[in-house]
Amino acid sequence: MFDGFTTETVDGAGCPVFVRHAGSGPPVLLLHGHPRTSATWHWVAPQLVERGFTVVCADLPGYGRSGKPEPAEDHEPHSKRASARRLLAVMRALGHEQFAVVGHDRGSYLALRMALDHPDRVLRAVLADCLPISEHLGRLTPQFATSWWHWFFFAQLKTPERVINADPDSWYHGDPEKMGRENHAEWRAATRDPEVVRGMLEDYRAGLTIDYRDELADRAAGRTLKQPVLVLWSLRDDLEDLYGDPLRIWRDWAEDVRGHGIDSGHHMAELAPDAVSASVADFLEPLKTE
């Protein structure tokens, strides 16, 4: 897994961030979702390197082998804005002042915040299985609350930790054949670590509080994404069932947005890596001449 990649821990504005990186050419930062680690990209990252990109895969702050910020009552240490600052510092430390970002699931919220706040550094953004948090909450229906109930459970204090840590193998389910055995082993070790579980839950708590308020402030100020955006969604997941065409919603957030569905379940980097790699590489190709 990740043959030829360098593995190291880099200072991210006071938070150690675990990264894997390799390649040459325009840099791209890959950000995983819940409850994965950077290992979820193990079939995608090498293909992007082969297509001529420098690839950095990071464990999100609070996840995997990255640092675990101390929780605060307002959840600011786990906000997407705080995590974006940390990852920007990591990319600078690796020599990448400007780069593209690809985010899936929770990683896409971090990618969105990074692209909104730092358009001078984020040249292109790929957002996979994602709508802004405020769009989900603004369209709240019984169907969403039933299907995505974990958002509201994870936002509770203390109880989710007790439930998950009592038997993490029963709570989280992963197939080593579909995930790849090394990826599965890394993921399983992470989900059995109480500090990782706390960090993942704090990510969700921040999402429904400070991150939600930050997005509402963006909308009130009329802020939009200035860089080209590619939106991908899993055709075998429920984003289209809930909202129809996701691009219709994203056009209010981005000036240049395009996208399409991927024939996959939710964890598309593991279930449809060739399609994901091709879509991302084609979208990022213009960076080679810009």
d(CA 234, CA 261): 6
Out of 75, 78, 105, 211, pick the active-site residue: 105
Tokens matching residue 70: 């101390």
Strand pairing class (122-128; 229-234): parallel
Phi, psi of 21 (to 5 degrees): -150, 150
Tokens matching residue 257: 């947005």
d(CA 80, CA 97): 19
Verify whether residue 129 is a known catalytic residue. no
Give the Cβ contact number of residue 219 at 10 Å. 15
65-86 per-residue burial string, b: 16 or more CB within 10 A, e: under 16: bbbbbebeeebebbbbbbbbbb
Verify whether residue 266 is a known catalytic residue. yes
Radius of gyration of the chain (CA): 17
Residues involved in catalysis = 105, 266
